[in-house]
């Protein structure tokens, strides 16, 4: 249902956006040329929300859906009028507080990461907010190449959906697969050459949905009838979102060392480096899809390690893969 709604909604949105000139015009920081409609997020949100209204047990996820609606309107206002990063941040915090206090979903334990287990209520709330803000903005920041954010979202939502299904968490599985269906439909129109962008409306909504799925994964881990891995949730959540998380972390560290604001716009992300190497939109997206998939497949061998060892190895491999294009660029310029 989510696939069909999004698939048939997008052509109408493209027509509407072109008629009323609601498009992203290429500028100094843009990696595309010409003008492209930016309201693909409306189709993604519609596909997800109507699918959830029809298939899910609304009493179980009503407050989660309310948080999606809030982030959706923050994105729409930003795409129409423009919002500062801090105003968008306030909207995200309001949304996650609804999830925490009304939806009763938060991270109560670190499961041994850095030697930390159970978290006091106030720290659990603050850490949950931090996780949502990092994931949502990390996903928003990689939406700079045709099909990239959409494809990474497909991989992540599929993995979260599989884990939720194995855990028999039907509500979370429905959320994950509803997002998967919408993104699969959107990819047809968003892959290079893109006919439409998801805009902040889409990237913030997708990031918020993936944040909720990540919180659930961190909290419950992976427990089946034959295997019990309740403390591997943090590792799974990190690896499912490895490309946006580690790329954003690298950018924030580099900017902090330069004395620049972490939320300022720039062209220092992994996809910018690949474009500068001449990979183009299509191959940049495919390369990062491959990196994300390889990290997820490789994480199977990390499940037997201590949680801290597993995350450290994952971080090391991820950073090595993500900084390689920058070293190639530096060598090329000499």
Q: Is 74 helix (H, G, I), strand (E, B) or coil?
A: helix
Residue-level pLDDT at 168: 92
Distance CA 211, CA 213 (A): 5
Low-confidence spans in the chain with pLDDT less than 50: 27-30
Residue-level pLDDT at 180: 98
Residue-level pLDDT at 252: 87
Distance CA 287, CA 279 (A): 9
Helix axis angle, 58-81 to 85-101, nearest 10°: 170
Closest residue by Cα to residue 142 from 267, 279, 12: 267
Residue-level pLDDT at 29: 45
Distance CA 177, CA 133 (A): 22
Residue-level pLDDT at 255: 82
Radius of gyration over every alpha carbon of the chain, rounded to an integer in angstroms: 19
Number of domains comprising the chain: 1
Residue-level pLDDT at 286: 96
Residues 331 and 276 sit within 8 Å (Cβ to Cβ): no
Residue-level pLDDT at 87: 92
Q: Is 25 helix (H, G, I), strand (E, B) or coil?
A: strand
pLDDT in tens, 303-313: 889 999 999 99
Residues 305 and 313 sit within 8 Å (Cβ to Cβ): yes
Residue-level pLDDT at 24: 63
Q: With the C-alpha atoms ordered 31, 34, 38, 40, is the resulting torsion angle positive or negative?
A: negative
pTM for the predicted model, two decimal places: 0.93
pLDDT in tens, 51-110: 999 999 999 999 999 999 999 999 999 998 888 888 999 999 999 999 999 999 999 999
Residue-level pLDDT at 224: 72
Domain range spanning residue 70?
A: 2-333
Q: With the C-alpha atoms ordered 156, 159, 165, 168, is the resulting torsion angle positive or negative?
A: negative
């Amino acid at each position: 249902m989510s696939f069909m709604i999004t698939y048939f909604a997008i052509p109408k949105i493209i027509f509407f956006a072109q008629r009323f000139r609601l498009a992203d015009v290429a500028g100094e920081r843009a990696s595309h040329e010409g003008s492209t409609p930016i309201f693909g997020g409306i189709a993604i949100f519609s596909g997800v929300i109507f699918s959830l209204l029809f298939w899910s047990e609304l009493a179980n996820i009503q407050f989660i859906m309310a948080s999606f609606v809030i982030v959706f309107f923050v994105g729409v206002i930003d795409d129409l009028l423009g919002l500062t990063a801090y105003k968008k941040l306030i909207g995200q915090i309001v949304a996650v507080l609804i999830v925490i206090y009304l939806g009763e979903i938060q991270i109560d334990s670190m499961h041994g990461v850095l030697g930390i287990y159970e978290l006091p209520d106030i720290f659990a709330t603050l850490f949950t907010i931090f996780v949502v803000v990092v994931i949502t903005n990390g996903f928003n920041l990689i939406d700079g190449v045709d099909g990239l954010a959409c494809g990474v979202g497909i991989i992540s939502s599929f993995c979260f959906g599989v884990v939720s299904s194995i855990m028999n968490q039907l509500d979370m599985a429905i959320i994950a697969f509803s997002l998967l269906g919408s993104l699969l439909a959107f990819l047809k129109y968003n892959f290079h050459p893109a006919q439409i962008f998801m805009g902040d409306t889409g990237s913030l909504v997708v990031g918020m949905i993936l944040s909720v799925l990540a919180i659930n994964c961190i909290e419950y881990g992976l427990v089946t009838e034959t295997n019990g891995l309740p403390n591997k949730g943090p590792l799974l959540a990190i690896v499912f979102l490895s490309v946006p998380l580690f790329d954003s972390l690298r950018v924030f560290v580099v900017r902090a060392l330069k004395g620049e604001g972490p939320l300022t716009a720039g062209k220092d992300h992994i996809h910018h480096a690949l474009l500068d190497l001449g990979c183009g939109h299509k191959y940049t997206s495919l390369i990062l899809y491959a990196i994300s998939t390889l990290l997820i497949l490789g994480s199977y061998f990390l499940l037997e390690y201590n949680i801290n060892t597993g995350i450290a190895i994952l971080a090391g491999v991820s950073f090595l893969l993500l900084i390689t294009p920058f070293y190639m660029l530096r060598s090329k310029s000499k």
